[in-house]
Copies of this chain bind each other. A is one copy, B any other.
Amino acid sequence: MNHIPNANDLLRVQQLIQPYILETQVLHHPDIDRLCGATVFFKCENFQLVGAFKMRGASAAALSRSKEELKKGLTTHSSGNHAQAVARIARELQIPSYIVMPRNAPQTKRNATLSYGATIFDSEATTADRERLVAEVIHNTGAYFIHPYNDYDVISGQATVGMELLKQVSDLDFILAPVGGGGLISGTGLSCSYFSPKTQVIGCEPEQASDAFLSLQHGHIVENKTTNTIADGLRTTIRDKTFQLIQKHIQEIILVSEEEIISAMKYIWQQLKIIIEPSCAVPFAALLKEKEKFKGTRVAIIITGGNVDLDALPF
């Protein structure tokens, strides 16, 4: 897709990917409502295939290509969940996948990617080195490249999280989602603008990787100065397509500290009994931090993934 997806594009993509993804549950707990002073819903994309919403975007991008375009396989660069998603949809389509992963990617995500039959190439942890290596892979294999977020097909796939959520829960005042490269928040912003304009989408970022916050403030893309955050899914920087959609649809980004992320993560494990990555504790940490803002409203939080190394927990 070479244009900003319209409502019909989103509906078409939703139908296209439906056989390859799960409709995920929404959880709700009265004790959390009491704590927050709001009615809080958790959209559990940690229950999605590959354990993350990324399966939606990767499926949307792959299934939008012709058989001819796909026959040499798929490639991408990703620190984890998008890698698994591309590897899994490639396996479903019976084509090869070649994944460039930074050396510091969590072992558990690396193993999972291998388990779907991917070939992994190790890069340095910088965006520049990832991009250099993926160009080499494309040159050598002819594989089709699926960008982890700066791609309208991927964004329209991620938009189906919000579409599904809006059907499952009525009258939402807010949806809170984390911002990494911006694919999910862009898709969520789009789906609310078409299907529930009264629902405000708020982005949430670690103070240690605040590129979207700074970019909105400055009116142009500001790269992350540090990516020293436990929220490994949010270390990437937004790009032109996602920045443009964030500028149009997201009024506010809330920042939270590392301590707030870890404490919110542990609270969700203990109270909701679900396994979530540090990245998706970021919106809940934001909700706790800005309680007054959300008082008495209906808020949904997108739980983006649950791929955690159980042998290396931060608590």
A residues in contact (CB < 8 Å) with B: 22, 25, 27, 29-31, 44, 46-47, 49, 51, 266, 269-270, 272-276, 306, 310-311, 313, 315
Looking at the complex, which one of B30, B266, B274 makes contact with A273 (CB distance below 8 Å)? Answer: B274
Are B47 and A269 interface neighbours, CB within 8 A? no
Report Cα–Cα, A51/B29, bound state, in Å: 11
Residue of B nearest to A305 (CB): B273
Question: Chain A binding site: helix, strand, loop or mixed by DSSP?
Answer: mixed
Looking at the complex, which one of B47, B272, B306, B313 makes contact with A47 (CB distance below 8 Å)? Answer: B272
Identify 12 new A-B residue pairs, CB closer than 8 A, beyond the known A27-B47, A310-B313: A22-B29, A29-B47, A31-B49, A47-B272, A51-B273, A266-B310, A269-B275, A270-B310, A273-B274, A274-B275, A310-B315, A311-B315
Are A27 and B30 interface neighbours, CB within 8 A? no
Are A269 and B310 interface neighbours, CB within 8 A? yes
Chain B hits for A273, CB < 8 A: 44, 46-47, 51, 274-276, 306
Residue of B nearest to A26 (CB): B25
Chain B hits for A310, CB < 8 A: 266, 269-270, 313, 315
Residue of B nearest to A313 (CB): B310
Q: How far is the CB of A19 from chain B (nearest CB, A)?
A: 11
Closest 7 A/B residue pairs (Cβ): A273-B306, A46-B273, A273-B275, A25-B25, A274-B274, A47-B273, A273-B274
